[in-house]
Amino acid sequence: MTTLSPAMAQPRTVSNDGGVASRRGFETVRDMVFSLGAVFAFVAILLLVTLRHSPDPIKVVDPTSVKQGIASNAPYQASVAGQVAGWRVTSARVSAPGDDPFAWNIGYFTTAGNYAAAGQSNASVKTYERDEQVNGASAGSVNIKGQKWTQLQRADGKRRWLVRTDRGVTTLIVGTGGFDELETLAKTLVPATAKTSVAANAN
């Protein structure tokens, strides 16, 4: 009769460490996916709330009262700038009744993301250009609606002007865009009257 030794009599144990490790690895990956998903969801919600509540950095103003002031109080035959489609009015100012010189200025944010403005004054050309910080060199001339305008451009090319003086009144168009934008604004100028001031703002 064969006798089994104690070592041989012990039952064999089958190791399943590989299966346990596999399950643990799967659970770890799953937990990471869930964690990343939660992070992405939080970021998406945060961006949505931020974008929804971010104020428009471009402050728009209503130039109606300024245009009416130009029509009513200018001591000369003033013009008034109209509205270019898509451009937003960002500033508007006019001298008080009886001021001498009498000036006005209306600024715009263009669809191309540039600044443009139109203005007039019966101050001397030198004084008006100094007040409006005109420091460009001659870049030629252009005819707009039968009127000749002088083109000026700053040395760095970052600002341009159209200037025209008639019967002691200087009209100035300035902008950070190209001369094409300035010409577009110049074409909207019409004689200032009570009717045109309101109509120009409504266009």
Candidate CATH numbers 3.10.580.10, 3.30.200.100, 3.40.50.300, 3.90.1150.10; the one for domain 64-202: 3.30.200.100
Q: Which of 8-17, 20-29, 81-90 has the highest mean pLDDT?
A: 81-90
Q: How confident is the model at residue 183 (pLDDT cuts 50, 70, 90)?
A: very high
Which residues are registered as beta bridge partners of 144? 147
pLDDT in tens, 74-89: 999 999 998 999 999 9
Could you tell me the residue ranges of all domains in the chain? Answer: 16-54, 64-202
* pLDDT number for residue 57: 79
Which residue has 């002691």 as its token pair? 168
pLDDT in tens, 102-159: 999 999 999 999 999 999 999 999 999 999 999 999 999 999 999 999 999 999 999 9
Q: How confident is the model at residue 160 (pLDDT cuts 50, 70, 90)?
A: very high
Tell me the three state secondary structure of residue 159.
Answer: coil
Tell me the residue length of the chain. Answer: 203
Strands (E) located in 48-203: 79-80, 88-94, 103-109, 115-121, 137-144, 147-153, 160-166, 169-175, 190-191
Cα-Cα-Cα-Cα dihedral sign, residues 199, 104, 74, 79:
negative
The DSSP code for 124 is -
Q: Taking the model in full, what pTM does it have?
A: 0.70
11 vs 41, higher pLDDT: 41
* pLDDT number for residue 44: 66
